[in-house]
Structure 1
């Protein structure tokens, strides 16, 4: 996302991708920083950066590891990310690195 761009929203990202901006949105959902209905469509880079800072602060007590989340958050994280991975795979995403990667 470039500085002069407006984020289209997590639901408008290219099918078959999992992007860093999308992960910020998903993590914000996990921690309840924004409702899961919030796609962040129309947000500026500054708004996404502010959300990133809040997400980073929310992860800090857990060492940024999903395995250290308390059960409720760990389950929410697993659900949100499983849905994202399933959707991306259905559109051809392959997380495996090739020989040249």
Structure 2
């Protein structure tokens, strides 16, 4: 059985507005990964390990952006604002359709 390999946050369709991309963005916010790390070529196991690290980093803040210290909150805003802008330019629509 061949392992699924992640294409990289910069190569995901629709501007990478997916749970996996959010894990990567959160890893950037917390400094777990450098912001130029796209995770291209990572296995599912690697993404799951990253998820565990990100979850642990969020734990002291109750997984709420409003509880982040100013430096992290500002980094979160910058990273996610840029992601939303890029996704919208790629045609992403945050509204749910009838089939969602």
Answer yes or no: same fold by TM over 0.5: yes
What residue is the counterpart of 2:80 in the other structure?
81
Residue 65 of structure 1 corresponds to 64
Question: Deviation at 1:93?
Answer: 1.1
Provide the C-alpha distance between the structure 1 equivalents of 2:28 and 2:78, rounded to a whole number of angstroms.
11
| Aligned residue runs from structure 1 range 1-101, under 5 A | 4-98=3-97, 101=100
1:10-45 CA-to-partner distances (Å, cap 9, x unmatched) read 011013440110000000000000100111011110
Q: Which runs of 5+ in 2 are unaligned?
A: none
TM-score normalized by the length of structure 1: 0.91
TM-score, normalised via structure 2 length: 0.92
Q: Which runs of 5+ in 1 are unaligned?
A: none
Q: CA deviation at 1:99?
A: 5.0
Q: 1:98 to 1:36 in 2, by over 3 A?
A: same
4+ residue runs of structure 1 moved beyond 3 angstroms? 98-101
* Contact 2:9/2:39 (<8 A) preserved: yes
Kindly report the root-mean-square deviation, in angstroms, between the aligned alpha carbons of the 2 structures.
Answer: 1.4
